[in-house]
Amino acid sequence: MYPSRPLPHLRLLILALITIVGANPASEWGPTVSRVYDTTDKIPLPNQGHLQVHDPNIILHNGSYYLFKGGPSVPIFKATNMTGPWSKIGTVLDGDSIIHTGNRSRPWAPTTIARDGTFYCYYTLSTHGSRKSAIGVATTTTLDGSPWTDHGAVIHTGDGEGSKVWPFTITNAIDASFITDNSTGKSYLNYGSFWHDIWQLPLSDDLLSIEDPGDPDAMQLTFLPHERVKPQEGSWMSYRDGYYYVWFSHGKCCKFTEGFPVRGMEYSIRVGRSKNVRGPFVDKDGQMLLDGGGSIVYASNHGKVYAPGGIGVLDGNETTPDILYYHYLNTSIGFFDSDAHLGWNLLNYSDGWPFVVDGILMSADSGTMAYLPNCFYLTIVMFSWLYIWS
Ligand SMILES: *[C@@H]1O[C@H](CO)[C@@H](O)[C@H](O)[C@H]1NC(C)=O
Ligand SMILES: *[C@@H]1O[C@H](CO)[C@@H](O)[C@H](O)[C@H]1NC(C)=O
Ligand SMILES: *[C@@H]1O[C@H](CO)[C@@H](O)[C@H](O)[C@H]1NC(C)=O
Ligand SMILES: *[C@@H]1O[C@H](CO)[C@@H](O)[C@H](O)[C@H]1NC(C)=O
Ligand SMILES: *[C@@H]1O[C@H](CO)[C@@H](O)[C@H](O)[C@H]1NC(C)=O
Ligand SMILES: *[C@@H]1O[C@H](CO)[C@@H](O)[C@H](O)[C@H]1NC(C)=O
Ligand SMILES: *[C@@H]1O[C@H](CO)[C@@H](O)[C@H](O)[C@H]1NC(C)=O
């Protein structure tokens, strides 16, 4: 049911409140939302050449970084340093995917892994707002120049082979990520978006298909049980010191030029952990990820970085830190999806919980701590006045 309109004087009060809150954004928001900004105050590290990406994926191989991103045929870029500059070296697919779902020429959210000399690139085919989706996989043995082989779909939801089997009847086959159980060597595919959020499936040993496709041993990893819209997607899984970390993006990813969400409901990067690759996962406050939990690691900050998400983690070693990478919008550049840039920061851990740290070449950003892009604030005020006078 739609609430009836407040009385005129109440409308004026609401407007006054919005204006005051907007003018003083740092202090007037509830604890959950203000925590977003308190915990994330690091500007992304350099991105020479301003590489534009959506849902980046990066692997380190033979001393070079290889970046895969959502885009026509899955573009591949290469750099010798995370700071860039990045040069395009090819695409994963020759043309359209062999899967007949979504936009076959424009896959989303690739995740590439290396196993025994072969590279596996899991990619997504879908369209906005639809559960008719598929995760496909392509392989190659060398990243520079050699052609990839497209093996087609690993899973389908909504439509296509296997889509009538639970949990493909209730989930959305997008945003693949990958993890190997450190004690058993078994590999898993994580996926999901909105609907029933993020899920995990055991992969067959060939990594090209799932185990038991007629009755998969599926596990749900995250869920927002109390919200009608369940904006969690783009999972990633990492392993460090006995813990599996499930990372995901929470909130609105795209189409900000058509409207901004309530502050804090734009993309932010969240995490939970478990000693078991299959969960259950909990956040820093002990809340289950199946019950809406997820600790914020990185989010909009300084009034410059907006809606970071589409993440991955590049594992460090004894001498190099882990790296969190993502895409974000720079509020001085623009809010079109195509304006999204590559961002990255070094990670450190406290009691086994990751946090973003300063790193090389940090430019001292004098940031006025305005927090909100001005156009967002203006949009709210404008709509409030329209509402008063309508
Ligand atoms: C590794 O990188 C070096 C230097 O870029 C190159 O000469 C060599 O061919 C590469 N090796 C492989 C196996 O790709
Ligand atoms: C990347 O570039 C930065 C800045 O020039 C430099 O400090 C760093 O050592 C480089 N890293 C590698 C792995 O070459
Ligand atoms: C598929 O994606 C391409 C590239 O973004 C776009 O040009 C094309 O219009 C899309 N096709 C459909 C049917 O949406
Ligand atoms: C488990 O992790 C350790 C250290 O990260 C590694 O040396 C070992 O090979 C891993 N085992 C498996 C089965 O992946
Ligand atoms: C750690 O990783 C860096 C590359 O990021 C590599 O140069 C170095 O050799 C690695 N160190 C160890 C101990 O594996
Ligand atoms: C945002 O873009 C402006 C203008 O190009 C640039 O000066 C600034 O460094 C960028 N900030 C971030 C965090 O990308
Ligand atoms: C990482 O965090 C720990 C606290 O957990 C701190 O003692 C250490 O100095 C930090 N290391 C770096 C490189 O920031």
Residues 237-257: tens digit of each pLDDT: 999 999 999 999 999 999 999
pLDDT, average across residues 287-297: 97
Give the closest residue to 371 by CA, choosing from 33, 9, 18: 33
Maximum Cα interatomic distance, the chain, rounded to a whole number of Å: 70
Q: What is the DSSP letter of 257?
A: G
Concerning whether 318 is annotated as a catalytic residue, the answer is no
Q: Point out the ligand nearest to the CA of residue 82.
A: 2
Q: What mean pLDDT do residues 253-270 have?
A: 94
pLDDT at 365 over 70: no
Rounded to the nearest angstrom, the distance between the alpha carbon of 248 and the centre of ligand 7 is: 24
pLDDT digits (tens, 9 = 90+) for 13-38: 444 444 434 333 333 344 455 556 66
Task: Please report which confidence band the pLDDT of residue 40 belongs to, taking 50, 70 and 90 as the band edges.
Answer: confident
Question: Is the CB of 106 inside a 6 Å radius of any atom of ligand 3?
Answer: yes
Among residues 150, 233, 266, 339, the one annotated as catalytic is: 233
Among 55, 266, 283, 339, the active-site one is: 55
Ligand closest in space to the Cα of 319: 5
- The pLDDT tens digits of the residues spanning 201-221 come to 999 999 999 999 999 999 999
Give the pLDDT score at 22.
39
- The model's pTM is 0.87
Q: Phi then psi for 58, rounded to 5 degrees?
A: -130, 135
Please check the confidence at residue 359 and state whether its pLDDT lies above 80: no
Cis before 85? omega within 30: yes
Q: For this structure, is 55 an active site residue?
A: yes
- In the block, residue with structure tokens 């301003």: 50
Average pLDDT (116-120) is: 97
CA distance 111 to 101: 19
Ligand number nearest to the C-alpha of 318? 5
The protein residue with its alpha carbon nearest to ligand 3, atom 11, reads: 103
CA distances, 299 to each of 54, 205, 268, 296 (Å) = 16, 37, 4, 7
Gyration radius of the chain's alpha carbons: 21
Is the predicted pLDDT of residue 374 greater than 70, yes or no?
Answer: no
Measured from the CB, is residue 117 less than 6 Å from ligand 1? no
